[in-house]
Amino acid sequence: MADTFDRAAFWPEPAAFAQDIPGLSVRDLPELPQAYVSGDLAAFLAAGALAPAVGLLGLAQGDRYAVRLARHRLLVVGIEPDAGWNPGGWGVTPVGAGLAVVAVTGPRWRDFFARATPIDPDAASASAAFLLGDGLPAILTRHDAPDNLRLHVGRATLPALHDWLGDCLNAMAR
Amino acid sequence: MQIFTCPFCGPRPETEFHFGGDLGNARPEGFRAVSDDEWSRYLYHRRNEKGAVREVWMHMTCGELFAMERDSVTMEAAPGHALHGDAP
Amino acid sequence: MTGFRLKTGGEIDRARPVTFTFDGESVTGFAGDTYASALMASGHMVMGRSFKYRRRRGLWGAGVEEPNVWLDITCGAGFAPGRRATTEPAQHGAVTRAATASPSAERDATGAFDWFGRFIPSGFYYKTFMWPDWHLFERHIRAQAGIGTVRRDFTDVPPADRIHHHCDLLVVGAGPVGLAAAVMAAEAGARVMLVDEQDRAGGSLLAHPAVIDGQAAPDWLAAALARLAAAGARVLMRATAFGSYDHGLVAVNQRHDDGRSDTMWQVRPHHVLLATGAIDRPLPFANNDLPGIMSAEAALVYLRRYAVAPGRRVVVATSNNRTGAVAQALAEAGVAVTLVDARADATAPAGIALIRSRIIEAHGRRGVRSVTLADGQRIDCDAVLVSGGLTPTIHLYAQARGKPAWDAEKAAFVPGSTVAGMTLAGAAAGQFTLAGAFAALPEALAPLGLPLAAAPVTGAAPRYEIAAMWPEPGEKGRVWIDLQHDVTAKDVELAARENFTSVEHLKRYTTLGMATDQGKTSNLAGLALMGALTGRTVPQVGTTTYRPPYTPVPYESFAAGRRGVRFNPVKRLALESAHRAAGAVLREYGGWLRPAFYGTDDSAILIEAKQARESAALFDGSTLGKIEVMGPQAEDFLEFVYYNSIRSLKPGRGRYCFVLSETGVVFDDGVLLRLAPDHFIVSCSSSHVDGMRGLLEEWRQDRFDPSRVFIHDATQHWATLTVSGPQARAIIAGAGVEADLSDDVLPHMAIGAGRFGDQPLRIARVSFTGDRSYEISIRATQAAPLWAALRQAGSDHGAVLLGMEALTILRAEKGYLIIGKDTDGTTLPQDLGLTGPLAKKSEEFIGRRSLILPDAADANRRQFTGIEVTDGLGPLPCGAHGVEDRDGRPRSLGYVTSSYFSPTLDRPIALGLIERAQARQGEEIAFQHLGQRRRGRLVAPCFLDPDGGRLHG
């Protein structure tokens, strides 16, 4: 049989990820409604009665909250407002299917973070967006409790995140 | 792995950033009123100074385009400053 | 036989013997031995061969400074090539061989090279082995030149761990000074990390007894470690701080002894304290490389830590006042010692025979047997211990651009200029007494700004006194400078004669200091000799640039597991499992894993392409970029971004547009869709999404008001399922999609809404195949049922699943170009025949001025064209060059950019970029590829349905 240069065997078929080690549990979360919002962020938050948008490792609470991504942009989680330009002065793009969310939970989250990025976990950063591991764009906040982390990555890159997470947890478990 | 300081995000690893050319390389406007020489210099000439340099960088994770002063010999990098003022 | 094990003492566990083999011979030591100490204890003298001359070599040192003895170690399933015997713990059952010898250290087959020594000085390979062809000799020379063997079957290296660490103080070196500093800082509240390359803390205390704060060294050591633990300090053993990098990064490679790969720590401390000690130097004399000649400081380590004596009749030769203690320790162990001290005012400890002289030659063949002194005496011996003086280990300081200063009194380079965030202490700072080192600690730690407790106190010791002994020009005999690279004083003299006198040229011409020991025991002697040869002082010659790593670091530590699927991850389609189930062959396109075709062999491709036009095709176009641009200034912004004019684009419509870069070169193409006056979707090439987003963000902030135009990348939120072909509308309706697909509601190049079940759809009538085509976008996580419904309905209408390979044929039949394939880094829009906007668009756009530069008007530019094959020999090779023969030589006219067999047209088609193609339509030209000539006619780049009727079919 001639070589068809089929890469289907090299790239394993994606599967759901769940792995526990002492001190840390990591698993895929079910799809969350999310949307990018740009423009007059203060007006958007006020209109939705949302708390101020949190930054990197910031503590977000509840089912509806905002995550700051850039000077003029945030990610709202828990709702997907209508797409397009809102006369209130902000634009919305739903992205709930585009961003997969992974829960990283436990007291050893610092050891996970120390492998994920050179960023100092004790230094506040206004944007929750960063590059994780081998260079994957990601968003990281806390949710409801200091040891509950939420990691958002592009859904098409979720299997790559899983591969990195597996190696990270295996290294931490030794 | 150097650490650059985005005006919005603070200190971040250099891999999150992308170089954007010399600061102050203003785009010559006027279409035909701009000489071939002036336009070509805008496209291709770089100051390439030894020592203090002033550059444009983009922090790719938040998208912020900003100005940063560095030293091309010692590799020191000053915190970047926003192009449009530091309004949050 | 020289070295032997003492009956008592050492850190070894005599209750746990360890047996391994060396060059096939069984050796027994104890747990706690290194391979070096075990070999020395069992009387081995010859443990390796030198790099160039293949001379017999034995141990020189006790640590990372070891230049001679390297082992390939196989232990269980593990294999470690080229490791220093002095830093590897002896493992029971290990099989080791001398890495620098073949077949063994004792019986090296190339020992004869030494006889030709005078013909192979430094740089001999620049002057010899050139005729008839260097490559004839290269293979053999390379085979001789390596250290260690690569085992091609050994590929199972576990991923290394990489950890980023932030702290207030990093202390490098857990000797007494480093420990004291770490304790002082940690107990004052600093977050401290302490690292040491050895397997246990203690540094010089392990070989030099001391009383610190009234405690014997072992007790003080244990107490210090306990205090560090209590204060929460992080202590890493077998961790080498190997490099100081920009912005305060210090990299530490930590070894483990349980089969794991190493851990790479990337440490970012606010302050670094280097307590890295100092390394003893050799002495220059003829044949100073013989087995049995070793560092006096190292011999003391073997004596105290491993209870091994180097011989029974030992000459201890020195230039300084530290070595008397070594002589005394040996005498106490029952060894007959003669101390040879070059200093005129030298004294010896009581009971030690002293000769005030220096060695000028060592004698022996398989190992040292005697030495001749300057006063003519000849002394028989079975080992010679030498001390040329201490060289502070300032590498990390110098890597951080610290400028060393020459201390003539100590004959050493010590730290000179200040380096922000870094201080040195102890021997590394040139402070060679422990009392002095402790006293200097508060100042070294002052930058921390913390209230520190007092530094420890220990008894005073005599000031370091040395009479520096550098190699002299014109000395008789062969005097070794760099043991690992086999560089002698004569090589330095040769370099001087050939005018390679700068220290950097000296290094590269002779390879002095370039081996894996990086000149730890050789650099200073070499540059001192060069100074003497050229009338310069040592500081005038200076040192070469210090670069990481301090000691070798495994590649895997840098890779940290980034290989295999982690090396270059691809993006995955939401429908990947459906494609796999349908039998897709998957390949990587533009960073995504996509179906190339469906089936077991590539004959499927032509079947898919044919059937797509006859009935219909379904394909997964989800990778297409969907960048949303919105806001009050969105239209102004996009009018500037695009080559084409877009203001007239109405909501609900799309336009095929180009984006240029400022050089005028076509950057990307795609359909711009307008959903509302202030809401657009930029669809861009799948592989260009990040590039387009970067371009849009740059102009948004640099030219427009960033508070009035915004950019969101929605690419991965939508799955885009495309239905193309004459049966497309029927299939979409048959699948249960609710949408008005009538041509007046949704004409070609329009976008509308629809529903599938409870899911809203965006339906764009856009075609990449040239046939009637609908791109249906649905929430990616809800795509599977729609895909299944389309397939079901499709099967009723003869639809085929279309992979990327067939799709590229269909678009080529229509002349639809692919940026980066049918265009290159010089292609301007006019080269593609697109001159309208340049002529008619009045507003400024990216790249506009570049389109009228002189080069842009060059009549001989390569232009986009179709190519018809006229020689009947099948498709042209992609990349074949159009050629014309000028003066008997072929000249390239450009090249074929796309080439396929078209199943619909039943003939080959091709596209290309050919010089003056627009003016030469109809002309037949030659093509050349790998020596073969072909023929083709330049034609319009559209082979099928030029009027576009099939778009409405």
Read off the pLDDT of residues C508-531 as tens digits, 9 standing for 90 and up. 999 999 999 999 999 999 999 999
> What is the model's pLDDT at position C154?
65
For residue B56, tell me if it sits in a domain: yes
For residue B36, tell me if it sits in a domain: no
Our CA-based measurement puts residue B76 at a distance from the nearest CA of chain A, in whole angstroms, of 18
Best of C250, C628, C689 to substitute, by most chain A Cβ atoms within 10 angstroms, is C628
**pLDDT tens readout for residues C649-670:** 999 999 999 999 999 999 999 9
Q: Quick one: closest CA in B to C853, which residue?
A: B36
**Tell me, what's the ipTM?**
0.98
* Tokens of residue C519, six digits: 């000149």
Q: For chain C, give the number of residues.
A: 953
* Rounded Cα distance, C305 and C330, in Å: 13
Going A160 to A162 to A164 to A167, the CA torsion angle's sign is negative
Exposure letters C865-894 (e unless 16+ CB within 10 A, then b): bbbbbeeeeebbbbebbbbeeeeeeeeebb
CB–CB contact C662 B77 (8 Å) = no
Going C622 to C625 to C631 to C633, the CA torsion angle's sign is negative
C 610-629 residues inside an 8 A Cβ radius of A: 628
Q: Which residues of A are less than 8 Å from B61 in CB distance?
A: 127, 129-131, 137
pLDDT at C63 over 60: yes
Label residue B11 exposed, middle or buried (CB < 10 Å: 0-12, 13-18, 19+): middle
**Count of helix runs (H) and strand runs (E) in chain C:** 23, 52
Provide the residue type at C809 as one letter. Answer: I
CB–CB contact C600 A4 (8 Å) = yes
pLDDT at C595 over 70: yes
**pLDDT tens readout for residues C372-400:** 999 999 999 999 999 999 999 999 999 99
**pLDDT tens readout for residues C416-443:** 999 999 999 999 999 999 999 999 999 9
Q: Count of domains in chain B?
A: 1
User: Are C488 and C285 in contact, with CB atoms under 8 Å apart?
Assistant: no
Phi, psi of C802 (to 5 degrees): -110, 125
User: Are C373 and C340 in contact, with CB atoms under 8 Å apart?
Assistant: yes
Best of A57, A155, A157, A174 to substitute, by most chain C Cβ atoms within 10 angstroms, is A155
pLDDT at C599 over 90: yes
* Rounded Cα distance, A158 and A164, in Å: 10
Q: What is the mean pLDDT of residues C603-612?
A: 97
> What is the model's pLDDT at position C121?
75
Name the strand (E) or helix (H) holding B17: strand B17-22
Phi, psi of C208 (to 5 degrees): -110, 110
Phi, psi of C857 (to 5 degrees): -95, 0
Our CA-based measurement puts residue B63 at a distance from the nearest CA of chain A, in whole angstroms, of 7
Higher pLDDT, C263 or C82: C263
CB–CB contact C247 B77 (8 Å) = yes
Provide the residue type at C730 as one letter. Answer: A
User: Are A73 and A36 in contact, with CB atoms under 8 Å apart?
Assistant: yes
Q: What is the mean pLDDT of residues C286-296?
A: 97
Q: Which residues of B are less than 8 Å from A70 in CB distance?
A: 8, 62-64
CA distances from C461 to C284, C328, C437, C458, C943 (A): 28, 16, 11, 9, 94
Taking the alpha carbons at both ends of chain A, their separation in whole angstroms is 44
CB–CB contact B10 A126 (8 Å) = yes
CB–CB contact C844 B75 (8 Å) = no
User: Could you tell me the pLDDT band of residue C227, with boundaries at 50, 70 and 90?
Assistant: very high
For residue B87, tell me if it sits in a domain: yes
Q: Which residues of C are less than 8 Å from B27 in CB distance?
A: 662, 703
Q: What percent of chain C has pLDDT over 70?
A: 98
Exposure letters C430-458 (e unless 16+ CB within 10 A, then b): bbbbbbbbbebbeebbebbeeebeebbeb
> What is the model's pLDDT at position A158?
98
CB–CB contact A156 C781 (8 Å) = no
Given C570, C676, C714, which is nearest A11 (Cβ)? C570
* Tokens of residue C189, six digits: 């509240």
* Rounded Cα distance, C324 and C461, in Å: 13
Phi, psi of C273 (to 5 degrees): -115, 120
Q: Which residues of A are less than 8 Å from C592 in CB distance?
A: 156
> What is the model's pLDDT at position C153?
76
Q: For chain A, give the number of residues.
A: 174
The candidate with the shortest Cα–Cα distance to C47, out of C22, C78, C12, is C22
What are the percentages of helix, strand and coil residues in chain B, rounded to 5?
15, 40, 45
Our CA-based measurement puts residue A122 at a distance from the nearest CA of chain B, in whole angstroms, of 12
Q: Please tell me what DSSP assigns to residue C34.
A: B
- What are the beta bridge partners of residue C862? C915
For residue B79, tell me if it sits in a domain: yes
Q: Quick one: closest CA in A to C707, which residue?
A: A39
Helix spans in A3-74 (H):
41-47
Best of B61, B65, B83, B84 to substitute, by most chain A Cβ atoms within 10 angstroms, is B61
> What is the model's pLDDT at position A1?
62
Q: Which residues of A are less than 8 Å from B82 in CB distance?
A: 71
Q: What strands lie across the sheet with C584-589, from one edge to the other?
A: C571-572, C592-598, C584-589
For residue B60, tell me if it sits in a domain: yes
Give me the total of CB pairs closer than 8 Å, taking one residue from chain A and one from chain B: 50
What torsion, rounded to 10 degrees, do the Cα atoms C746, C751, C756, C759 define? -150
> What is the model's pLDDT at position C139?
76
For residue B6, tell me if it sits in a domain: yes
How does the average pLDDT of chain C come out, rounded?
Answer: 95
CB–CB contact B61 A119 (8 Å) = no
The list of chain A residues with pLDDT below 50 reads none
CB–CB contact A154 C571 (8 Å) = yes
Our CA-based measurement puts residue A73 at a distance from the nearest CA of chain B, in whole angstroms, of 9
Residue C517's CB is within 10 A of a number of other CB atoms, namely: 25
Q: Could you tell me the CATH number of the domain that includes residue B15?
A: 3.30.2270.10
What is the Cα C642 distance to its own chain's centre? Answer: 40
* Tokens of residue C348, six digits: 């010896």
C75 by DSSP, 3-state: which? strand
Q: Which residues of B are less than 8 Å from A127 in CB distance?
A: 6, 8-9, 61-62
Exposure letters C384-411 (e unless 16+ CB within 10 A, then b): bbbbbbbbbbbbbbbbbbbebebeeebb
Provide the residue type at A106 as one letter. Answer: G
Q: What percent of chain B has pLDDT over 70?
A: 95
Best of C600, C673, C712, C805 to substitute, by most chain A Cβ atoms within 10 angstroms, is C712
C217 by DSSP, 3-state: which? helix
What is the Cα C931 distance to its own chain's centre? Answer: 39
CB–CB contact B32 C852 (8 Å) = yes
CB–CB contact C853 B64 (8 Å) = no
Q: Quick one: closest CA in C to B13, which residue?
A: C247
Domain residue ranges in chain A: 20-173
For residue B74, tell me if it sits in a domain: yes
> What is the model's pLDDT at position C145?
66
CA distances from B47 to B22, B37, B52, C175 (A): 7, 16, 11, 49
> What is the model's pLDDT at position C148?
65
pLDDT at B87 over 60: no
Q: Where do we find the tokens 């869709």? A: C673
pLDDT at C638 over 80: yes
- C706 to chain A, any CB pair closer than 8 A? The answer is yes
Q: What secondary structure does DSSP assign to C429-479, as a single string?
A: GT--SHHHHHHTHHHHHGGG---PPPPP-B---PPP-B---PPPTT-SS-B
Q: Quick one: closest CA in C to A121, which residue?
A: C166
Q: Which residues of A are less than 8 Å from C268 in CB distance?
A: 118, 120
> What is the model's pLDDT at position C52?
86
* Tokens of residue C387, six digits: 């001390």
- C687 to chain A, any CB pair closer than 8 A? The answer is no
User: Could you tell me the pLDDT band of residue C105, with boundaries at 50, 70 and 90?
Assistant: confident
Best of A11, A113, A127 to substitute, by most chain C Cβ atoms within 10 angstroms, is A11
Our CA-based measurement puts residue C404 at a distance from the nearest CA of chain B, in whole angstroms, of 17
C302 by DSSP, 3-state: which? helix
Our CA-based measurement puts residue A163 at a distance from the nearest CA of chain C, in whole angstroms, of 7
> What is the model's pLDDT at position C664?
98
C223 by DSSP, 3-state: which? helix
Best of C157, C163, C164, C258 to substitute, by most chain A Cβ atoms within 10 angstroms, is C164
* Rounded Cα distance, C249 and A52, in Å: 34
Q: Which chains touch A (3 or more CB pairs under 8 A)?
A: B, C
pTM comes to 0.94
pLDDT at C780 over 70: yes
Q: Which chains touch C (3 or more CB pairs under 8 A)?
A: A, B
User: Are A156 and A109 in contact, with CB atoms under 8 Å apart?
Assistant: no
pLDDT at C101 over 90: no
Label residue C241 exposed, middle or buried (CB < 10 Å: 0-12, 13-18, 19+): buried
User: Are A119 and A133 in contact, with CB atoms under 8 Å apart?
Assistant: no
Task: Decide which of 3.30.1360.120, 3.90.1150.10, 3.90.930.12, 3.40.50.300 is the CATH code for A20-173.
Answer: 3.30.1360.120
pLDDT at C1 over 70: no
Query: Looking at C70-84, C261-275, C332-346, C806-820, which range is the least confident one?
Result: C70-84
User: Is there a cis peptide before residue A12, judged by omega within 30 degrees of 0?
Assistant: no
* Rounded Cα distance, A103 and C898, in Å: 46
> What is the model's pLDDT at position C607?
98
Q: For chain B, give the number of residues.
A: 88
* Rounded Cα distance, C213 and C180, in Å: 11
CB–CB contact B13 A118 (8 Å) = yes
Name the strand (E) or helix (H) holding A24: strand A24-28
- C166 to chain A, any CB pair closer than 8 A? The answer is yes
Q: Could you tell me the residue range of the domain that residue B62 belongs to?
A: 1-24+49-88
> What is the model's pLDDT at position C123?
75
CB–CB contact A174 C260 (8 Å) = yes
**pLDDT tens readout for residues C559-593:** 999 999 999 999 999 999 999 999 999 999 999 99
- What are the beta bridge partners of residue C763? C752, C776
Going C607 to C609 to C613 to C619, the CA torsion angle's sign is positive
Q: What is the mean pLDDT of residues C108-116?
A: 72
> What is the model's pLDDT at position C138?
77
Q: Which residues of A are less than 8 Å from C266 in CB distance?
A: 118
> What is the model's pLDDT at position C730?
96
* Rounded Cα distance, B62 and B12, in Å: 11
* Rounded Cα distance, C138 and C141, in Å: 5
Contacts of residue C608, Cβ cutoff 8 Å, sequence gap at least 6 = C597, C598, C617, C800, C801, C802, C803, C805, C806
Q: What is the mean pLDDT of residues C819-841?
A: 96
Given C162, C630, C782, which is nearest A85 (Cβ)? C630
C26 by DSSP, 3-state: which? strand
* Rounded Cα distance, C801 and C63, in Å: 65
pLDDT at C930 over 60: yes
Name the strand (E) or helix (H) holding C184: helix C176-187
User: Could you tell me the pLDDT band of residue C542, with boundaries at 50, 70 and 90?
Assistant: very high
Our CA-based measurement puts residue A49 at a distance from the nearest CA of chain C, in whole angstroms, of 22
Phi, psi of C439 (to 5 degrees): -60, -30
Given C266, C694, C701, which is nearest B83 (Cβ)? C701
Q: What secondary structure does DSSP assign to C512-560, as a single string?
A: TT-STTTTTTTHHHHHHHHHHHHT--HHHH--PPP-S-SS---HHHHHT
**pLDDT tens readout for residues C442-455:** 999 999 999 999 99
* Tokens of residue C945, six digits: 């349905």
Q: Quick one: closest CA in A to C587, which residue?
A: A7
Name the strand (E) or helix (H) holding C775: strand C773-779
> What is the model's pLDDT at position A20?
98
Best of A38, A40, A56, A71 to substitute, by most chain B Cβ atoms within 10 angstroms, is A71
Q: Where do we find the tokens 């260097």? A: C134
Given C592, C717, C782, which is nearest A94 (Cβ)? C717
Helix spans in B1-88 (H):
36-44
CA distances from C385 to B51, C54, C315, C479 (A): 49, 22, 6, 16
C206 by DSSP, 3-state: which? helix
